Amino acid sequence: MTLNTRVTEFFGIEHPVLLAPMAGISGGRLAAAVTVAGGLGLIGGGYGDAESLRSQIGQADGARVGYGFITWNLARNPGLLDVALAQQPVTIMLSFGDLLPFADRIRTAGVPLTAQVQNLEHARQALDAGADVIVAQGSEAGGHGMTGRSTFTLVPDVVDLVAERSPETLVVAAGGVGDGRGLAAALALGADGALVGTRFWASREALVSPRAQQRAVQASGDDTLRTDVYDVVRQLDWPAEYNIRALRNSFLDTWHANAAQLRASLPEAVATFEKASAAEDFDTAAVIVGEGVGRIRDIRAAADIVHEMVRDATRILT
């Protein structure tokens, strides 16, 4: 089965399913698997360096993929964009910062620009920067985002804004989309496709500890929360307006509502976190997933996830 939308036509793919370029998770093997299954895989540039990015490019084994970058971090490591553009990618996705310093370089290279947004003002800025695709990300999403707008209301608002200002620009929904029902809902809200993170996080090809995945299989969306604790202990200089959604555990229960004491005890907290991460002790280490974790009951091949999602969405919509 296939679902033809403007996204499938624009990117030349079979299914309107895009892999979220999750930092440290969406490597070349996962991105390639999603592409081969008929979707579009994006490798997460994350916090990496050129060497690690080239390694993941090699893992993609020549598949048509895109790349995603955390924009404020890309400003500190601009050479990463050169590495990605040299691959003639399907798209470059920028998130969490100012697009303008990079938009012209991406367009000049003939590569479509995808911009992730969390509210209408972000969407306006993305349109001003000439984005070809806008990803409207609700707060249900795993990983980084903003506390605020939900996918169910943000997507149609962005769709209407884009229709008024730039009808040729595509809109993709993100946040809480993890099965055929979510994909069907995204299309019904007016999106041209969906960007999927958490469900692919729980795939065999993801760069994720199997122990973390098994913990997630037992969880529900009620077990997640948005927090800045993991950014503090990983000593990542995220802008204050962004935080991260992860599974609750004893570490977050201790520090989430105790920011002042966390910063006062930071060396000890960092050491505890790093030791737990090395030992894959997820009572302390991070399991970074979205509210959609509640619909994950197994760890499957990425291709199976794509095909089941499209099959179920097609049945719902027709």
pLDDT level of residue 163 (50, 70, 90 thresholds): very high
Beta bridge partners of 203: 300
pLDDT value of residue 205: 98
Token pair for residue 157?
Answer: 């608002």
- Compute the 3-state secondary structure of the chain and give helix, strand, coil in percent, each to the nearest 5: 45, 15, 40
* DSSP single-letter state for residue 110: T
Q: Residue 293: is its pLDDT beyond 80?
A: yes
> What percentage of the chain reaches a pLDDT higher than 70?
100
pLDDT value of residue 49: 85
* DSSP single-letter state for residue 14: S
Give me the phi and psi of 308, to 5 degrees please.
Answer: -65, -40
167-177 pLDDT per residue, tens: 999 999 999 99
What is the tally of helices (H) and strands (E) in the chain?
A: 16, 11
pTM of the model as a whole: 0.95
pLDDT value of residue 239: 92
Architecture of domain 6-206+298-317: Alpha-Beta Barrel (3.20)
Taking CA atoms, 141 is separated from 36, 59, 169, 284, in Å, by 25, 26, 23, 21
107-145 pLDDT per residue, tens: 999 999 999 999 999 999 999 999 999 999 999 999 999
CA 164 to chain centre: 26
- Count Cα atoms within 13 angstroms, Cβ side, for 177: 36
Can you tell me the distance from the alpha carbon of 21 to that of 312, in angstroms, rounded to the nearest whole number? 24
Mean pLDDT of 14-36: 97
Q: Residue 298: is its pLDDT beyond 80?
A: yes
Q: Which of 45-54, 197-206, 240-249 has the lowest mean pLDDT?
A: 45-54
pLDDT value of residue 259: 87
pLDDT value of residue 1: 73
Exposure pattern of 201-236 as b/e (b: 16+ CB <10 Å)? bbbbbbbbeeebbebbeebebebbbbbbbbbbbeee
Coil, strand or helix at 161: helix
pLDDT value of residue 268: 95
Q: Could you give the residue range(s) of every CATH 3.20.20.70 domain in the chain?
A: 6-206+298-317
Can you tell me the distance from the alpha carbon of 117 to that of 16, in angstroms, rounded to the nearest whole number? 19
β-pairing, 143-145 with 243-247? antiparallel
pLDDT value of residue 179: 97
Amino acid in the structure at residue 284: T
Coil, strand or helix at 122: helix
Q: Residue 48: is its pLDDT beyond 80?
A: no
Amino acid in the structure at residue 128: D
CA 85 to chain centre: 20
Mean pLDDT of 61-74: 95
The set of residues, in sequence order, having a beta carbon less than 8 Å from that of 278 and lying 6+ positions away, is none
pLDDT value of residue 107: 92
Mean pLDDT of the chain: 96
Mean pLDDT of 198-202: 98
Picking from 12, 61, 75, the residue whose alpha carbon sits closest to that of residue 33 is 61
β-pairing, 113-117 with 92-95? parallel
